[in-house]
Amino acid sequence: MYKTTPEQFKTETSLAKKGFRFSSWIPFEPDGNNQPVKGTEHLGTMVMEKRVTRFSTEYREVEPDGSIN
């Protein structure tokens, strides 16, 4: 299981104020089989989602350093 870093928590809080909610985790640095690389097993990229209209959803990926993709 992945652990939230303090930087991710701050970014998650700011995105929650904008209407985003937590969706899932993906590996931070995946290898060819989409498994975490050695040494980064506890780090994950947090996926946040926001329903914009009935037919569209926005996604944001929050990296362990707090940056948004």
Q: What is the pLDDT of residue 31?
A: 73
More confident residue, 45 or 39: 45
Q: Where are the beta strands (DSSP E) in 1-69?
A: 21-27, 44-53, 56-62
How many whole angstroms separate alpha carbon 25 and alpha carbon 12?
13
pLDDT of 5 over the 80 cut: yes
Work out the mean pLDDT of the chain and round it to a whole number: 89
